[in-house]
Amino acid sequence: MKRSFRVSSVLVLALALTLGLVGAAPALAQPQTVPVAALLNPDGTLNMTVAVNSALDLRGWGVTLDSQRGPVLSPQQQPSAAALSSAWYPLSNKGLNGTVNAIAAIGTDLYVGGDFTQTYDGAVTNLNRIAKYDTKTNTWSALPHNGLDNAVHSFAVMGTDLYVGGGFSQTKDGAVTGLNAIARFDTTTGAWSALPHNGLGGGAVYALAVIGTKLYVGGGFSRTADNVITSMWNFAIFDGASWSSPNGGVYGGFVSSLVRVGTDLYVGGVFSHTWDNAVTNLNQIAKLDTTTDTWSALPHGGMNQFGGVRQLAAIGNDLYVGGQFDATQDGVVKDLNHIARFDTATATWSALPNKGLNGDTSAFGVLGTDLYVGGMFFGGTFDGAIRLNNLARFDTTTGAWSGLPNDGLSWPVHVFEPMGTDLYMGGDFWASADGTVQDLRSIAKLGPPIYQVFLPLAKR
């Protein structure tokens, strides 16, 4: 009996590992992982004297079934980051009941912003446009004063303060006012506070970035909310006490993305020159030297305008630019279909493999050397060679595109936020594109697949 118990236990485990039948329960807290090597004998068999109830990350390990010894594990050649397997995990309560536009990580908490009011299952309410998700306990909670009265579009973190941008004007309960388009939330005290001059007026805030102690703000505004400071078109700087806008901002529709490379701030959106017309050829993208607050144009006059630049991301010296365009403004550099790379060291534009993508790109996420791209591209790469559904991964070291598990997601992704080896993303989706993984309502986690393993308490 003792021997048969050991063999049957091992066989069940082996079949589960080999066939992939033992997987995570996504809605529940994930078990702590242990290194595979810590559970192995020198011959690759499982050490049955170890007492453990945990999880194994089997990436990079081969599993074979031996009729006498049970499962035998052996290390395989470590795959590249792009080739590592991953899996989708729904968040608790089936996600949220509306669009997610912004995610920010502070410690183990995720702050989530958008246009929602509660969890999808209705169990947690008063999450008006902003909510907190504890990644340790997998629980949602409302922020003080029941959130905000209109949509949230962007976040920036400065210390323990969360700066929030959007189209709101006050907390949902009306207790804190003067939060026009921008507000500060102290994550340690739970207090909301207005910025000087009651925030910004004339339009919403779409992008926020922090460099040092300064907050850089982009959007569709034109002034402070109290009309005291004007000529702040679509771009402003808040130094902790006062507002400013070099050259009166940028002229055009809006600023949608901000990203830092060294002491330079790259600004993307729909615009053509500074408001005072002193700096021209800033077509959809510009550079601000934050040490001197001076604007400059990028080579070839920026991007041609179909819908402008929607998103920016930096990996090393490379700036990745996404949006609705297909070439530089002067038409010299082509095949920049919805995505392009700008080398900030050499000041040169280049196309990505496969001539880019066949639809709008609206979100970038960086995890290691991989660039994750979200948007609305059902066909995939522009040349049709690689099928991608609203979501793709670009390996910046190999130049290779790849899809994500389950053919991606069912509808566009608007934001990414990395946390450790996990990547959280928000948007308008509800499931994986193939329909296999459900309850990804507007927010989901992409992480390593987890395999639950139970070993006997002692060798029988």
| Domain co-membership, 9 together with 115 | no
The CATH number of the domain holding residue 356 is 2.130.10.10
| Domain co-membership, 131 together with 60 | no
121 in any annotated domain: yes
Instruction: Please tell me the predicted confidence (pLDDT) of residue 1.
Output: 35
Check: CB of residue 394 under 8 Å from CB of residue 400.
Answer: yes
Instruction: Please tell me the predicted confidence (pLDDT) of residue 306.
Output: 75
454 in any annotated domain: no
Give the confidence band of 425 by pLDDT, cuts at 50, 70, 90: very high
457 in any annotated domain: no
289 in any annotated domain: yes
| Domain co-membership, 77 together with 100 | no
| Domain co-membership, 357 together with 421 | yes
Residues 246-263: tens digit of each pLDDT: 999 999 999 999 999 999
Pairing of strands 205-211, 214-219: antiparallel
| Domain co-membership, 178 together with 97 | yes
Instruction: Please tell me the predicted confidence (pLDDT) of residue 35.
Output: 67
Residue 107, both tokens: 């410690």
Instruction: Please tell me the predicted confidence (pLDDT) of residue 43.
Output: 75
| Domain co-membership, 70 together with 111 | no
CA distance 107 to 90: 20
- Where is pLDDT greater, at 73 or 440? 440
Left (φ > 0), alpha (ψ -120 to 50) or beta: where does 235 sit?
beta
Q: What DSSP line would sit under 374-438, residue for residue?
A: EEE-SS-BTTSSS--SSEEEEETTTTEEE--GGGSBSS-EEEEEEETTEEEEEES--SBTTSSS-
Our count of domains for the chain comes to: 2
| Domain co-membership, 73 together with 155 | no
Q: What DSSP line would sit under 132-145, residue for residue?
A: EEETTTTEEEEPGG
Kindly state the average pLDDT of the residues 346-366.
96
Kindly state the average pLDDT of the residues 191-197.
98
Give the confidence band of 361 by pLDDT, cuts at 50, 70, 90: very high
Residues 209-218: tens digit of each pLDDT: 999 999 999 9
Give the confidence band of 64 by pLDDT, cuts at 50, 70, 90: low
- Among the candidates 83, 114, 140, a domain finishes at 83
- Among the candidates 37, 52, 83, a domain finishes at 83
Instruction: Please tell me the predicted confidence (pLDDT) of residue 44.
Output: 75
| Domain co-membership, 56 together with 102 | no
Instruction: Please tell me the predicted confidence (pLDDT) of residue 123.
Output: 98
Q: Tell me: pLDDT of 45 over 90.
A: no
Q: Tell me: pLDDT of 237 over 80.
A: yes
Q: Burial-class residue 446 by CB neighbours within 10 Å (0-12, 13-18, 19+).
A: buried
Q: Residue 272: in which H helix or E strand, if any?
A: strand 264-274
146 in any annotated domain: yes
Q: What is the pTM of this model?
A: 0.82
CA distance 293 to 97: 41
**Contact partners, residue 196, CB within 8 Å, separation at least 6:** 224, 238, 241, 242, 243
Instruction: Please tell me the predicted confidence (pLDDT) of residue 205.
Output: 98
Q: Tell me: pLDDT of 207 over 90.
A: yes
Instruction: Please tell me the predicted confidence (pLDDT) of residue 322.
Output: 97
459 in any annotated domain: no
| Domain co-membership, 30 together with 110 | no
- Among the candidates 48, 64, 83, a domain finishes at 83
406 in any annotated domain: yes
Residues 88-109: tens digit of each pLDDT: 999 999 999 999 999 999 999 9
CA distance 380 to 225: 42
Instruction: Please tell me the predicted confidence (pLDDT) of residue 373.
Output: 97
Instruction: Please tell me the predicted confidence (pLDDT) of residue 299.
Output: 98
Instruction: Please tell me the predicted confidence (pLDDT) of residue 13.
Output: 39
| Domain co-membership, 137 together with 217 | yes
Task: Supply the range of the domain harboring residue 356.
Answer: 93-446
Give the rounded percent of residues in the chain with a pLDDT score beyond 90.
75
| Domain co-membership, 26 together with 138 | no
Q: What DSSP line would sit under 326-368, residue for residue?
A: SSBTTS-S---BSEEEEETTTTEEEPPGGGBBSSEEEEEEEET
CA distance 231 to 97: 38
| Domain co-membership, 73 together with 158 | no
428 in any annotated domain: yes
